Structure 1
Amino acid sequence: MAAHGYAVAAPQLEEVLVTAQKRSESTQDTPVAITGMTADSLEKFGFANANDISAQVPNMQVSGPYGDVQPIFSIRGVSMSDYSSIQASPIGVYSDEAYMGAVYTHGMNFFDVERLEVLRGPQGTLYGKNTTGGAINIITKTPEIDDGFHAKIKLGMGNYGSTKGDLSMEGTLIEQRLAARLAYSFSRNDGYMENKLGGPNLSSVDFQGARLTLNWDINNRWNNVLKLTRGENDSLANASRNEPRADLRGTGLVGGIVGGVSELLGGLIYLDDSSGFIDYTGYSRSSRNLDTYEVEDNFTGPLIVNSDMLVNKLEWVGDSLTFTSVTTLSQSDYYQKQNTDGSPEELLEVIWSVETDAFSQDLRVASEFGGPVNFIAGLYYAEEEMDMNNIFEIFGTPPDLRDAIASPGTTGFYPYLLDFGGGQQKMITDKKSYAAYSQLRIDVSARLGIDIGLRYTIDKIKLPYFNISRQDYDGNPRGTWLPGNTSPYDEPFVPLNLAGDAGIIEFDYFLTQLLAGEITLDDILKTINVGYTTGPYTTDSFYLPPAKEKEWTGKIGADYRFNDSLMVYASYSKGYRAGSYNSGVYYRERDFDDAYARPEYIDAYEIGFKSDFFNQRARINSALFFYDYKDQQFINVVGVSNFLENAGGSQIAGLEAEMMFAVTESLIVSGGFGYLDTEYTELSLSDTETLNNSGDELDLSGNQLISAPEFSGNISIDWDLLNVDAGYLSLNVNANYQDLQWYSAYNDDGGYENIKQDAYALINSRLTWRGNLKDYSISIWGKNLTQEEYDSYAINLQAGFGYDYFQPGQPMTFGIDVSYGF
């Protein structure tokens, strides 16, 4: 929609060209909801990573639970609430037209950027990959042939030991034929989460990336652009905050009241000065006097990502047709050592790792007949193999006996948690996608245009290997759940309960259920068949049949231009995201329908307008939209299990507007506004508060969607404070606001009332002196200047572990940048 960026001291707003529809055109002539950001505007905003994008795009949220390299995008309430590293996002991320499937690489290519484009709404008739939520296009810089030699260096430093730099050089290697560009970027800091147990700070950054670009004019018809990108991240992972929820208030078991009982029981009761809440090991963060950016962490380690990508774009330009081939090869790997319990105890510790190999080929033809009818048509093929190997360990610290008072239903779990060990989850997925797509443009008149798009997709998904096994704390095998669990229970063990549902100290509940006739023979047998549900250890694979999906999707739209300054448009599009095998942890062989999340679909309706007025000194773009969302995929955590599930149905209605005003030649004000009205129309999930009855469900119809705040907004002020012969001094102040948003579909049901972020605003600023020739600049900048404390991600882990998990957002940061170029 709105275009950010402008020529310095210009009386008119700059026209920003985008290629969102595979043609170079102004954002104001593109009848879709799109935000285009130029390199100049990105520098003005102090753009540093993917998390900064949402600050300038309405109805967009970005969370980074695993650091800058793995952002989770949400656009118009369409989000990926799945923290798994092997699922595809509903928001497509493209780097120089190459689809980046591995979500843990989505933050690896945001350097040496020429332009960013954010498209809102389903994509598919112009893009290689189907997406339901939108697309983010990263267009990196390409050298011009016969444009001389250019070089630029930018260095910066800031608080938390931050250092960063961008270096680039480009020039012509063969006149009229070949130009090259080499770019290198690094960003490091010491981390903003202080570990009170000692050692380095956590939540650090240590990224470096390099890109070689070759632009080859083969002849006057053929051009080839080759881009080789290498990215490396070797930081310390994000620390998490543990907010305990096991309630001991009124029990007399808080602090020193129980005297020497702790010693008598070998330390299985942990005395503390808490406010009355503990997790299931007895840890109480509230007793430790920790602030938001302090933790006591015994496990968090490295977050390592390596990414190699080759993108080759070969193009033949004829008089009326252009043929384009985009070939992509990529290899990447990911490793993270995460202390998920956020404590000094050994409650829940996870090592995530995955390797990905991907290839894609996009072939298309675009016409430029000079008449009223033109088209784009293409064929797309992609394959991706992901090899996941996750290891989780639980209750290395035995559970606190006081949990039996706070949560009586947990008592039957205790014998099996004393030496549970952990699990190893190995999964290999093989995905192939074939598609034919096209979009027809008909200019009915000089004012009226119609777009008709159609796509046919075949997705094939295989699960060559899947194994979940139990191991001890030293990594020695103890048995296998998948394949191997022959019990009827999809649980790691059958707890020592009375008739299945009642904890061993809940005898009154047992009698009530018995007298009411609610206890069956199967329930009695469950009391007898207690213990771990693993079979003998094996490295064999659990078999699930392959999945094959065929789907037609498309778009139809019309736009009408009243004059050069006002265009209105309307469209309908159908979005689709392929299904996926459940990459969560479960413990019993499942039928295909229970082990595979169905595809998700969106029917999207949109009307909007784009306008320039006051002699192109003002711009307002706006859109009104409605989505009918079916089978949305998301992760649901239940006890010590997590599942990729489908919501039956949901609806999204919304409004957004972007505005820009050249108030004077030296002052430009821009802003955006978003409104969302979202609800699940059909959704039932397990009641995690009734731990021993997996059949209990909550009707969540009417709840808001995940990461879908009702209101969001942003504002940016660019002011040239001083303009003299030597140069000019400019100030940018920008702010963005996010309303209350839920991080779970439960909203405030079932004990999830804290899994949210209340409304907050972030204010940033940048003061820059630029030389008159733009050959050098000096900037002083700050982000989150009001030191707002907020959470960017949260999960309810009460049922299995007695706490809520939070990822705090970044604190105030500030620094100085210096650049020089020629």
Structure 2
Amino acid sequence: AAFTHWNLDLSERLGLTVGARYSVDEKEGAMVRNYFSPAPTAVFRLLGVQPGPEYADSFEDSAISGSLAARYQVSDDMMVYASYSRGYKSGGVNIDNTAAGTLVNNPAEVPGAVPLDPTYRSEFVDGYELGLKSEYLAGRARSNLALFYNDIEDLQIAQFIGTQFTIDNAPEATVYGLELENQFLLSDAFSLNFDVTHIADAKFGDDPVLGALADRNFAHAPEWAANLALGMDQPVSSDFSLFGRVGLNYSTELYTNTSNDHMRGNQGELAANVGVRSETAGWTLAAWCQNCTDERYVTQHFNSPLQGNDANGYVSAPRTYGVTLRGSF
């Protein structure tokens, strides 16, 4: 690859950022089946999954990507900006042992069978963003707002469908919404942070090739997500300071996987810490907890092998707490 990046001040208030990258990707992948039971009653053979065809394939692509952004300093306390970016993620060769198909695609097993293409295409995204960054209340408050729109072409979708790991391309997908970040200094010791993200739309395109995913929302893309945190940092002497933080993160319901339609409901988690820091000796001692209320929920469902429509799930980490001592020297 070759790339360049420029920050240009066109005037005291107007600036421009320009970046460009040229990428060349060459990949090779192969699957050779050193052993597979020849028994006609082998379970995966009876299921029509194995043995899939052996293959050796390659993928090559090149692309120009980059960004263009303009920023304008409205005042000493406010800046607005607009940006466009072109993103590129190389395609490749899926090296799962069924990437070229299953038993029915294996000419060594089924005369006249045609192997599938184990490669997947490159992904491109055109991203647009409008934003504002501001400070107010004599510098004791800060708010940043961003509106974003992403148009995605050939989105790469990795799936585990029970007996196979697949990588497919969604011909089109869109994501748009807004982000708001706020920080408030309540006093010399206490600060409050509040962030919220609204994803108005994050969907695969309505394309028949996607099957059940057509016009469906992305996995792990809640409509609303927010964080609220209260922080404290208070000197108690010339050498020691007390610090602490309590934070809540929350998100609305979401799909947990692209391989099925299982969902997780609205969820919030609480985390906290409190400690003491030596300003001269370079050490900190803190007590902390994660998931303090011991919320238990499935973070990701995945299809159970050979169990029909059943699914397993990874469960969230339980309440975790401890004490941490750090030192620098």
Classify the TM-score, shorter chain: 0.7 to 0.9
The alignment partner of 1:728 has SS state of strand
1:549 aligned residue (61, 80, 102): 61
1:681 aligns with 2:205: yes
Query: By how many angstroms is 1:642 displaced?
Result: 2.8
Distance 1:649 1:613 in 2: 41
Q: Does 1:711 align with 2:224?
A: yes
Higher RCO structure (Cα 8 Å, ≥6 apart)? 1
Q: Does 1:760 align with 2:267?
A: yes
Aligned twin of 1:560: 72
CA displacement at 1:599 relative to structure 2: 0.6
Where does residue 45 of structure 2 map in the other structure?
A: 493
- Which of 281, 287, 312 is the matching residue for 1:805? 312
Report how many aligned residue pairs link the two structures.
314
Which one of the candidate residues 772, 778, 796 is aligned to 2:285? 778
What is the one-letter code of the residue matched to 1:680? F
* Cα distance in 1 for residues equivalent to 2:306 and 2:209: 14
Distance in 2 between residues matched to 1:744 and 1:782, nearest whole Å: 28
* Secondary structure in structure 1 of the residue aligned to 2:85: strand
Q: In the alignment, is residue 647 of structure 1 matched against residue 192 of structure 2? A: no
Alpha-carbon distance change, 606 to 532 in structure 1, aligned in 2, over 3 angstroms = closer
CA distance in 2, matches of 1:551, 1:652: 22
How far did residue 552 of structure 1 move? Answer: 1.4
Report the Cα offset of residue 638 of structure 1. Answer: 3.6
Listed as ranges, the gaps of 5+ residues in structure 2 are 107-112
How many angstroms does 1:565 deviate by?
1.6
Assess, with a 3 A threshold, how the Cα gap between structure 1 residues 610 and 773 changes in structure 2: closer, same or farther.
same
**Residue 449 of structure 1 is aligned with which of 15, 19, 27?**
15
Q: CA deviation at 1:678?
A: 1.1
After superposition, the Cα gap between the structure-2 partners of 1:811 and 1:534, relative to the gap in structure 1 and judged at 3 Å, is closer
Structural RMSD (CA): 2.8
Percent identical among aligned pairs is 25
Deviation at 1:494, TM superposition (A): 5.6
SS where residue 706 of structure 1 aligns? coil
Change over 3 Å in CA distance of 1:556–1:722 after alignment to 2:
closer
Structure 2 counterpart of 1:604:
127
> Residues 729, 578 of structure 1: CA spacing in aligned structure 2 closer, same or farther, 3 A cutoff?
same
- 1:12-411 equivalent positions in 2, closer than 5 A: none
Residue identity opposite 2:246 in structure 1: V
Q: Does the 8 A contact of 2:151 with 2:174 survive in 1?
A: yes
Deviation at 1:441, TM superposition (A): 2.7
> Which residue identity is paired with 1:549?
D
* Distance in structure 2 (CA, Å) of the matches to 1:576 and 1:727: 49
1:788 and 2:301 matched: no
Deviation at 1:819, TM superposition (A): 3.4
**Deviation per residue, 1:278-321 (Å, 9 max, x gap):** xxxxxxxxxxxxxxxxxxxxxxxxxxxxxxxxxxxxxxxxxxxx
Opposite residue 572 of structure 1, the aligned amino acid is Y
Letter in 1 for 2:32: N
Structure (1 or 2) with the larger CA radius of gyration: 1
Residue 612 of structure 1: how far off its partner (Å): 1.6
Which residue number in structure 1 is paired with residue 88 of structure 2?
A: 576
**In proportion to residue count, which structure has more strand?**
2
1:463-484 per-residue CA deviation (whole Å, 9 max, x = no partner) reads 2x3124554xxxxx548xxxxx
Conserved in 2, the CA contact under 8 Å of 1:780 and 1:817? yes
Of 247, 257, 264, 1:744 maps to 257
Q: Which amino acid aligns with 1:736?
A: N
Match of 1:641, as an amino acid? Q
**C-alpha displacement at 1:744, in angstroms?**
2.9
Q: Note closer, same or farther for the CA distance 1:816–1:630 as it changes in structure 2 (3 Å cut).
A: same
**Residue 159 of structure 2 contacts residue 166 of structure 2 at CA under 8 Å; is this kept in 1?**
yes
Q: Which amino acid aligns with 1:605?
A: Y
Q: Which amino acid aligns with 2:16?
A: I
Q: Which amino acid aligns with 2:160?
A: V
Structure 1 residue 817, shift from structure 2 partner: 1.9
Secondary structure of 1:493's partner?
helix
Whole-angstrom CA distance in 1 between matches of 2:219 and 2:146 = 22
Paired amino acid for 2:28: K
Aligned residue identity for 2:227 = N
Amino acid at match of 1:743: T
The answer to whether the Cα contact below 8 Å between 1:648 and 1:682 also exists between their aligned partners in 2 is: no
- Normalised to the residue count of structure 2, the TM-score between the two structures is 0.85
- Which structure dedicates a bigger proportion of its chain to helix? 1
* Cα distance between partner residues in 2 of 1:768 and 1:570: 41
Where does residue 110 of structure 2 map in the other structure? none
Indicate which of 623, 628, 632 corresponds to 2:155.
Answer: 632
CA deviation after TM superposition for structure 1 residue 790, in Å: 1.7
How far apart are the structure 1 equivalents of 2:95 and 2:25?
18
